[in-house]
Amino acid sequence: MIGEEKAGRILSPTTGFIAEAGFTHSLTPARNCTFGCTYCYVPTMRVFGGLKPEDWRRWGQFTTFKANAADLLRRELRPGQRIYCSPLVDPYQPAEEKRVMMPAILDALIENPPRRFVLQTRGPLILRDLERLRKIPGLRVSFSITTNREEVRRFYEPLCAPVEERWNAVRALREAGIEVYAALAPLLPCDPEELARMAAEATGRELIGDPLHVRGVKPRGATTREAAWRISARQGFTEWLDGDFQRRVVDRIRAAARECGSDFETGPGGFSRLAA
């Protein structure tokens, strides 16, 4: 289900994780995300970022586009901004294929580019807009790859593209001259060394990522949804929600990345590579 409404503004000053990473603003083209990932942190933030109770109660079941996003952006863009799109929705969510919102937003960025614009996505649909992306100076794409194991992807994010299709999108972006990073976030059950090698080879860059947020490590704020906890218990993956186990996985990914001449960093420090 796809809705629309007019927003009062489109760029929000950043706080928390994204601000710490060095971004000045975030851009969220829609409320609620039709990828509906089982672990998604966004609905656990409750009303943060303009979400409404119906969004976090029915996460992933509908989305509401900000119909005037491109017009607002033309007014709000400034040359020094570092913009992250988006901490609250995937700009290339399934509903974007029908609504076609992003090309007009990218046109506004081509006309008046900010210092940095980062698209955070897991949607191969981004390739539809390749020609526009190439015209935006300061553009980076952070492409989410959460595991190298297709059966794991199906458990936790059944509405997202298969892993192989995502690698192909990363390669296509790189071949088109786009600065593309692999965001190993959140880290789902995977083969850490294999995932690190594939990400380093596909991007030729340093890797960024984060384990699944859990209260043992992150006592406050956004956290992993109940649905992902249930899947983890059912499939025998509960250790992936344990802080000590997560730290060991991060160390293994870092070591494997370094063997490939890359590196791996988590948290705001990792994501600051996108904003720099």
33 is an interface residue for ligand SF4 by CB under 6 A: yes
Q: SS3 breakdown of the chain: % helix, strand, coil, rounded to 5?
A: 45, 20, 40
- Nearest approach, Cβ of 42 to ligand SF4 (angstroms)? 5
21 is an interface residue for ligand SF4 by CB under 6 A: no
Per-residue burial over 81-118, b if 16 or more Cβ lie within 10 Å, else e, is bbbbbbbbbbbbbbbbeebebbeebbebbeeebbebbb
153 is an interface residue for ligand SF4 by CB under 6 A: no
Residue whose CB is less far from ligand SF4, 35 or 181: 35
166 is an interface residue for ligand SF4 by CB under 6 A: no
Record the tokens describing residue 241, joined without a space. 């929600």
40 is an interface residue for ligand SF4 by CB under 6 A: yes
Give the interface size with ligand SF4 as a residue count (CB under 6 A): 10
Angle made by CA atoms 182, 63, 124, in degrees to the nearest 5: 30
Map the footprint of ligand SF4 across residues 75-94, applying CB under 6 A.
89-90
Which of residues 18, 27, 30, 37 is near ligand SF4 by CB under 6 A?
37
- The residues that bridge with 187 in the sheet, in sequence order, are 211
Contact (CB, 8 A) for 107 and 135: no
Dist CA 198 CA 167 (whole Å) = 8
55 is an interface residue for ligand SF4 by CB under 6 A: no
271 is an interface residue for ligand SF4 by CB under 6 A: no
Q: Report the interface residues with ligand SF4, using CB under 6 A.
A: 33, 35-37, 40, 42, 60, 89-90, 122
